Amino acid sequence: MFPAVFKSAYITPRLKKASLDPTDVKSYRPISNLLVLSKTVECPDTHQLVEHLNLWSLLPDAQSAYRANHSTETAVLRVLSDILDALDRGDFAVLTLLGLSAAFDMVDHVTLLRRLKTTYGITGTALVWFTSYLHDRKLSVRYRGSSSTPSS
Q: pLDDT digits over 81-95, tens only?
A: 999 999 999 999 998
- pLDDT by residue (tens digit) across 32-84? 888 888 888 888 888 888 899 889 989 888 787 778 888 888 888 888 999 99
**Strand, coil or helix: 151:** strand
Report d(CA 102, CA 93) in Å as an integer: 27
In this structure, of 8-17, 32-41, 130-139, the range with the lowest mean pLDDT score is: 32-41
DSSP per-residue string spanning 58-116: -S-TT--TT-TT--HHHHHHHHHHHHHHHHHTT----------TTGGGG--HHHHHHHH
pLDDT band at 1 (very low <50, low <70, confident <90, very high): confident
DSSP per-residue string spanning 5-49: GGGEEEEEEEES-TTS-TT-GGGEEEEEE--HHHHHHHHHHHHHH
Report d(CA 30, CA 143) in Å as an integer: 11
Report d(CA 14, CA 36) in Å as an integer: 20
What is the DSSP-derived secondary structure letter of residue 135?
Answer: S
- pTM of the complete model beyond 0.75: no
pLDDT of residue 113: 96
Report d(CA 29, CA 10) in Å as an integer: 13
Answer whether residue 3 shows pLDDT above 80.
Answer: yes
**Strand, coil or helix: 74:** helix
CB burial readout 91-128, b (16+ within 10 A) else e: eeeeeeeeeeeeeeeeeeeeeebeebbeebebeeebbe
Strands 8-15 and 146-147, sheet pairing: unpaired
Report d(CA 53, CA 121) in Å as an integer: 9
